Amino acid sequence: MKNLIYGLIGLFALGGTAAAGVFLSDEIQDAEYKIGETIENFSLKNLNGEEVAFSESTGSLGTILIFTCNTCPYAKLYEERILQLHDVYNDVGYTVILINPSNPDLKPGDHPSELMKWVSQSGYSGLYLIDSIGLFRRFGARKTPEVFLMDKSNVLKYRGAIDNSAQGAESVTDKYLENAIRALQDGVDPEPVKTRPVGCVIKH
């Protein structure tokens, strides 16, 4: 009888743990920004260790956040396209902000000193921030590279892949992000508003 009672207690305990797990999972998903929600202000350090507030870095027409890194092969394949996005859209009112969510203890190639080398070699002149607070979870970012497009009111309008070719720019047939930007410029919502990013799983 005692064994039966202990067994039932164990089952209830397991059931409670499973239920809690489901609840926590749903809670995390509910906390992720959804299309149409306004991005709250946040602060991250740049490569020089200075705090940078999102509210002071947004573009006059919109903002493009790209979670990326040094060590992911897919991110490397997208480097030139990311640089081009900055060169083209930063000048017309869409600030490009790169955010590195990788743990440098797990990925030494994503240490700020290595990122500074990349900035120097690539000529990137925009913001590059370090996600030491797990901000990627609030955005629901899971891969590098993964992009989030906000309008001038900081409302999330598009999220996902930059385009439909993770292999190389020569294979691109659908520029998801640029199409979304053009939609905003035309005063309409992007279509699609979400695509599946192809890249490396974020390790934080």
* Per-residue model confidence as pLDDT tens digits over 163-179: 999 988 999 999 999 99
Are 9 and 103 in a shared domain?
no
Of 86, 82, 104, nearest in space to 95 by CA: 86
Average pLDDT over the chain, rounded to an integer: 88
pLDDT, mean of residues 144-161: 98
Number of domains in the chain: 2
Of 70, 64, 54, nearest in space to 95 by CA: 64
Are 27 and 118 in a shared domain?
no
- For 58, the token pair is 């947004």
Are 26 and 44 in a shared domain?
no
CATH number at residue 115: 3.40.30.10
Are 91 and 147 in a shared domain?
yes
Residue 6: domain span: 1-31
End-to-end CA distance of the chain: 47
Are 27 and 116 in a shared domain?
no
Specify the pTM.
Answer: 0.85
Contact 46, 125 (CB under 8 A): no
pLDDT band at 25 (very low <50, low <70, confident <90, very high): very low
Q: Residue 30: what pLDDT? A: 57
Q: Residue 203: what pLDDT? A: 87
Q: Residue 28: what pLDDT? A: 43
* Per-residue model confidence as pLDDT tens digits over 60-83: 999 999 999 999 999 999 999 999
Say yes or no to pLDDT of 1 above 70.
no
Are 104 and 132 in a shared domain?
yes
Are 13 and 46 in a shared domain?
no
Are 89 and 23 in a shared domain?
no
Contact 124, 97 (CB under 8 A): no
Q: Residue 204: what pLDDT? A: 84
Say yes or no to pLDDT of 21 above 50.
no
Are 62 and 142 in a shared domain?
yes
Q: How far is CA 176 from CA 16, 19, 40, 123, 134, in A?
A: 43, 38, 24, 25, 26
Contacts of 34 (CB under 8 A, 6+ apart): 156
% of the chain with per-residue pLDDT over 90: 83
Are 118 and 140 in a shared domain?
yes
